[in-house]
């Protein structure tokens, strides 16, 4: 018996279809497609009509190109391996005015998307004045072999936050910039800004935008809690097995360093074959696991094991579900365990058995 990470392929695809509806999505497939597997995710997304992908790593972008010869692939981090970017027809962000001036001559024939920094402050040109300076310098550049500006984009830092006004501020700042540039007849093949939260908050794609750049919803987790669970469905199951059920008595300490103290005699502890070495976060282990459809409290987390306090209905070899569509990743996001992507990224795919069903 070994703990298993498995994805229901039909459910994954159905969820992606529900998320996409009739909209044009750029599927974010960075970090091995949120650890669902790059090849798997790209193949499924292609099958439902998504043919635009984005990632932060050139290595992943090249892997996508091999899977999807005709796709639009957008690299959200700037890189300096310009020959590879050209060879694999990867589109790339233009992350600052200084990057433009410093690499002007090396960027020839590369399709770039001009990035606006906004409130996240991670990357991008700082003001509309900078963007206009870039556009006009580019326009006046007589070199026939120059970069090609095909896109305009930003990333919101606060679309997942409802208690602060920052999303409203960054949203307005961005929409004003798009409107001003279009009013001056600048043209872009692609304009994109929205992550999953913004896509759902706005009930679709902003006017004048070509794509929403969606990640986590495509992987089956809700970006915020007021979206109904039926709207976004989780196809991932992570489960371990009960090796044995042991009884301990009041005052017994169980697990390393007094992790759990039994408060009554004949407390039943299931010893389960999954732990933090498999990627279960310590914060997740403050909550419950599901056995035979019923939730039981996790009492201690070790590297390859955990203790779950159970009752008489539970026995050795029963399955212990850490995540599935009834005990979802996003439930624990909203309980403060960590971001959806953080819980997904923590999984150790070398120690878990990985299955696509």
Ligand X SMILES: Cc1ncc(COP(=O)(O)O)c(C=O)c1O
Based on the shown chain and the rule CB under 6 A, indicate whether residue 91 belongs to the binding site for ligand X: no
Annotated binding site: 122, 303
Own/partner long-range contacts of 310-313 (Cβ < 8 Å, ≥24 apart)? 310/245, 310/268, 310/269, 310/270, 311/268, 312/268
Provide the 3-class DSSP secondary structure of residue 345: helix
Among 76, 191, 248, 347, binds ligand X (CB under 6 A): 76
| Residue 259 buriedness (CB in 10 A; 0-12 / 13-18 / 19+) | middle
Of the residues 101, 256, 282, 294, only one is catalytic, namely 256
Among 214, 238, 269, 344, binds ligand X (CB under 6 A): 214
Q: Which stretch binds ligand X (CB under 6 A): 7-15, 179-187, 189-197, 260-268?
A: 189-197
Based on the shown chain and the rule CB under 6 A, indicate whether residue 222 belongs to the binding site for ligand X: no
Active site residue 256: yes
Neighbours of 309 (CB within 10 A): 19
Among 124, 215, 275, 279, binds ligand X (CB under 6 A): 215
Active site residue 239: no
**109: alpha, beta or left? (left if phi > 0; alpha if psi -120 to 50):** left
Own/partner long-range contacts of 95-99 (Cβ < 8 Å, ≥24 apart)? 95/123, 95/124, 96/123, 96/124, 96/125, 97/125, 97/126, 97/130, 97/133, 97/134
Q: Of 94-153, which residues contact ligand X (CB under 6 A)?
A: none
Q: Which stretch binds ligand X (CB under 6 A): 7-15, 129-137, 191-199, 327-335?
A: 191-199
Q: Which stretch binds ligand X (CB under 6 A): 126-134, 169-177, 209-217, 316-324?
A: 209-217
Q: Which stretch binds ligand X (CB under 6 A): 83-91, 207-215, 233-241, 248-256?
A: 207-215
Based on the shown chain and the rule CB under 6 A, indicate whether residue 16 belongs to the binding site for ligand X: no
Annotated binding site for substrate: 122, 303
Among 19, 27, 28, 301, binds ligand X (CB under 6 A): 28
Tell me the closest approach of the beta carbon of residue 36 to ligand X, in angstroms.
Answer: 12
Whole-angstrom distance, CA of residue 222 vs CA of residue 220 = 7
Tell me the closest approach of the beta carbon of residue 155 to ligand X, in angstroms.
Answer: 4
Based on the shown chain and the rule CB under 6 A, indicate whether residue 155 belongs to the binding site for ligand X: yes
Whole-angstrom distance, CA of residue 174 vs CA of residue 49 = 28
Nearest 5°: the CA angle 210, 193, 93 is: 95
Q: Which residues contact ligand X (rule: CB under 6 A)?
A: 28, 76, 155, 195-197, 213-216, 223
Hey, which residues are catalytic here? 30, 256
């Amino acid at each position: 018996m070994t703990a298993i990470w498995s994805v229901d392929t039909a459910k994954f695809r159905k969820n992606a279809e529900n998320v996409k509806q009739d909209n044009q999505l750029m599927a974010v497939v960075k970090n091995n497609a949120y650890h669902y597997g790059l090849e798997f995710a790209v193949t499924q997304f292609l099958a439902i009509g998504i043919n635009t992908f984005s990632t932060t790593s050139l290595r992943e972008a090249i892997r996508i190109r091999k899977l999807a010869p005709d796709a639009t692939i957008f690299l959200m981090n700037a890189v300096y391996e310009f020959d590879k970017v050209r060879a694999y027809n990867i589109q790339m962000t233009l992350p600052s005015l200084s990057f433009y001036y410093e690499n002007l001559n090396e960027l020839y024939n590369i399709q770039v998307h001009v990035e606006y920094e906004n409130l996240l402050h991670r990357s991008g040109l700082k003001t509309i004045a900078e963007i206009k300076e870039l556009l006009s310098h580019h326009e006046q550049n007589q070199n026939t072999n120059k970069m090609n500006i095909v896109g305009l984009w930003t990333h919101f830092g606060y679309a997942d936050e409802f208690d602060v006004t920052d999303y409203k501020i960054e949203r307005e700042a961005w929409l004003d910039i798009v409107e001003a540039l279009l009013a001056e007849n600048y043209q872009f093949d692609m304009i994109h800004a929205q992550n999953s939260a913004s896509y759902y908050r706005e009930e679709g794609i902003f006017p004048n935008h070509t794509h929403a750049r969606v990640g986590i919803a495509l992987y089956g987790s809700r970006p915020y809690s007021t979206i109904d669970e039926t709207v976004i469905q989780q196809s991932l199951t992570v489960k371990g097995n009960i090796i044995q059920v042991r009884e301990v008595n009041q005052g017994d300490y169980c697990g390393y360093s007094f992790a759990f103290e039994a408060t009554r005699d004949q407390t039943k502890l299931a010893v389960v074959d999954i732990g933090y070495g498999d990627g279960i976060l310590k914060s997740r282990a403050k909550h419950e696991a599901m056995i035979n459809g019923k939730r039981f409290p996790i009492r201690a987390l070790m590297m390859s094991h955990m203790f779950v306090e159970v009752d008489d209905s539970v026995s050795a070899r029963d399955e212990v579900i850490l995540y599935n569509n009834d005990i979802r990743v996003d439930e624990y996001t909203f309980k403060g365990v960590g971001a959806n992507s953080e819980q997904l990224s923590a999984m150790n795919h070398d120690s878990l058995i990985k299955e696509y069903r």
